[in-house]
Each structure stands twice: as C-alpha cells, then as structure tokens.
Amino acid sequence: MSESKTVTLNMGPHHPATHGVLRVVLELDGETIVNATPVIGYLHRGIEKICESRTYQQILPLTDRLDYSAASANNLGYCVAVEKLLGIEVPKRAQYLRVIMAEFARIMGHHLWLGTHALDIGAMTVIFYAFRDREMIMAMNEEIAGYRLTPSFIRIGGVAYEATDDFIAKVRKFVAWFPKALEGYHQLLTDNKIWTTRTMNIGKISAEEAINHGLTGPSLRGSGVAYDVRKAFPYSSYGDFDFKIPIGENGDVYDRYLVRMEEFKQSIAIIAQAIENLPSGPVMTDNPLVASPSQPEVQTDISALIRRFMVNAKGTPVPSGELYSAVEGAKGELGFYLVGDGSEQPYRLKIRSSCFYLASALPRLLVGHMVADAIAIIGSLDVVLGEIDR
C-alpha cells in the first residue's frame, strides 16, 4: 500500500512567528510545503471606511495605526497626499523635521524586524539590543511629539510642534552612537554560520517575479531592483540628502537581511544631514484653510478665533479631484489614493499597503521549503498585519 497523503497545517493566527494575526494554511507532504494559502482579515478595523466620515485632520491619528511599527512614515504619506490635492507648500524646516521622523520610523520598523526575525530563527540575543536602541528612538518621539509609538507628529501643512533643544541634542547623540550599535548587530549575526545556513538560498525570488508580484521596499531591492520612492519620486526634500539605495543579488532571505541592515546606515546618514542642516523658520504653513491660529492670536483676535473654529470643527475643504501619492514606508511603497469631492471629508481613501503584496507573494515563496523555513521567509518579508487588514 503506497498512498501519498498531504497534511494540512494551520499556522496562525496566534502563532508568535507570524507577527500579528496572519494565518497561513500550509499543505504539507512530510515536512515539505506543497501549497500555502495566506488568510488575512483578523485585524480588520475598517479604517478606509471610517475615513469617509472623518475630516482630513481627524484621519491623521488613524494612519498611525496602519503600520504601527513605523507610524510616522504613514503620517507622512497621508499628509503628502492631502497637501498635493490641496496644492499647498510646506515650510522647509517642517519638511526636514518630517524626514527625521520618517527615517526614525524606518529605523524603528527595522529594529522590530531584526529582533523578531532573529528570534524566530533562534538567535535570542539580538532582540534585546534591538529593543534597547528602539527605546532610544521612542524617547525621542516622546520628547518631540508627546507619544512614543503613535506620535501623530506630522500634520497636514507641516508638523505639530517646534523641535525642542533637548530633542536636537538627543538626535545628535543618537546619530553619533548608532553606527557602533549597528556594528554589534553585524557582529552577532552576519557571519554566523548558523544564521547563514538558515537564511542563504531560502525563499529565493527573481527580480522579474518580484516585480510581477508587486513587491516593493527592501524585499524588492533584495532581488536586485533598485527602486525606492525616495529616489525615484522625491518628496518632502528627500532630493536634498545624499544617500544610497542598497540592493542585493540573489533575492533570498539573507540578501533581504543585508539590504535592511544597510538601510539602517543610510537612514542614520539622512538623519545626520537633516539635523545638521535644519533650516530655521516656521514649522507650519500659513495657509488659513489648514493652519490653526496660535493660542495668543486666538486670545486677542476674533477673526483668529473664528478661523480656529472653522479649521477644527468644520475641517479643511479639499478641492474635488483624485490623486495617487506614494512614499517609501518601512516595508515598501505606501500609497494613498485620495478622492476629494470639495467637502471636508474624503469621498474615498484607498491605501496601497505594501505588506498586502508581500503577503500575497507567500504562496510563491513558501512552496518547496520546509516548515521551519516558512518562519524565516515570513520574517524576512516583514509583514505588519495592521497595514494589510487596515
């Protein structure tokens, strides 16, 4: 009797290595995966629908909760989209502060990825160092914005508050210190034979296939495609900074790892340039439709008071029209497709979540590998379910 049967294995939604509530239904032949189906939707909060009944300002804290490991990058993407539709210019100082916050968000996202990815594969040490350094960035978020994980610091038309001296000093200290910490991560993982055995030639995807699956961000660059929204379509003064796009060659888990490790370095280089060349000036546009007047103005000037009521209670009327605007989030191209109908609330806001495309490539990547490699592959794609399910 030689009958071959496959076994169905449910991985998730409460599996610690699926990074949230991703569920993957694996069909196994022995220990080899013959079929994989990702099941999503366990974290669906209907953010896109909620946005249709909120003013443009009120949507902003919701975007923090998309990719919660890199919240400021989502804020930036949304604000850039709305500002394009409004046709307003953001002051240079605000643009630089935005860049600093977005790059900190990228580093925070990569810290989370590095720690959990290594933990999944069995290297327990790394997460402690990664989270030690992530905590420093959280302290800086707290210093400037008042909140650690979801700062909501980037607002439509600029940023919420002026940077404090303490913040600038902390950023300088961090920029000077971080390369040493990064060297430590490399020391722990990069040449380690156990690490390379688990990651090299696992989850390989060619450049063409990666493009066809719609991968973006580090996962695409690991396959050797040099596409980065920051370079291809610069926004928020990214053109002013000198930085490089890391790419891989083989498109496997190890190359995606190397690409992200290099991105740490490039992000810190951008922050260093931004903090040294921080221009002076206002941090909020003076467009009366967007900017809420300052507190002393409101106390003395009745028209300022009325304007504050209009901006905050009624919202900003955005002209009718539609546009797609994308930024480079921590995981890839984060796009916002915005339809305005002349009112204060968007007619439709569609979020192009990079993680959705990463998760949809899982069936292609997992087939043919062992169950233990599935963990490495999911970790290397760095999906965040808050962004997939929205």
Partner 1 sequence: MEKSDIINVSKNRGEKGNYVKPILKGLQFTMGNFFKKPVTIQYPDQKTVRSQRWRGLHKLNVDEKGELKCVACGLCAAVCPSQAITILAREDEGGTRHPEKFEVNELRCIFCGFCQDACPKSAISLTKIYEYVNYNREDFVFDISILKTTGEKWNS
**238 neighbors 328 (Cβ within 8 angstroms):** no
Q: Which residues pair with 324 in a beta bridge?
A: 337
Beta strands 32-39 and 23-29: pairing type? antiparallel
Query: Closer CB to partner 1, residue 170 or residue 350?
Result: 170
Q: Say how many residues touch partner 1, by CB under 8 A.
A: 60
- Member of 32, 35, 58, 237 binding partner 1 (CB under 8 A): 58
Query: Closer CB to partner 1, residue 188 or residue 278?
Result: 188
Cβ contacts of residue 299 below 8 Å, gap of 6+?
none
Kindly identify the residues of this chain, within the stretch 93-152, that bind partner 1 according to CB under 8 A.
Answer: 125, 129, 132, 135, 139, 142-147, 150, 152
Kindly identify the residues of this chain, within the stretch 198-227, that bind partner 1 according to CB under 8 A.
Answer: 200, 226
Which residue in the block uniquely carries the two structure tokens 């002076």? 280
Q: How far is the CB of 261 from partner 1 (least distance, A)?
A: 8
**67 neighbors 20 (Cβ within 8 angstroms):** no
The one-letter amino acid code at 305 reads L
Nearest C-alpha neighbor of 347 from the set 321, 315, 313, 311: 321
Q: Which two tokens stand for residue 300?
A: 């003395």
Q: Which two tokens stand for residue 63?
A: 């975007």
Residue 232 in contact with partner 1, rule: CB under 8 A: yes
Tell me which DSSP letter residue 54 carries: S
- Member of 24, 59, 86, 253 binding partner 1 (CB under 8 A): 59
Residue 54 in contact with partner 1, rule: CB under 8 A: yes
Query: Closer CB to partner 1, residue 18 or residue 57?
Result: 57
Residue 255 in contact with partner 1, rule: CB under 8 A: yes
Residue 237 in contact with partner 1, rule: CB under 8 A: no
Residue 262 CA from chain centroid, whole number: 16
> How many CB atoms neighbour CB 112 within 10 A?
21
- Interface residues with partner 1 (CB under 8 A) are 54, 57-62, 125, 129, 132, 135, 139, 142-147, 150, 152, 160-161, 184, 187-194, 196, 200, 226, 228, 231-232, 243-250, 254-255, 258-259, 261-262, 292, 295, 298-299, 305, 308-309, 312-313
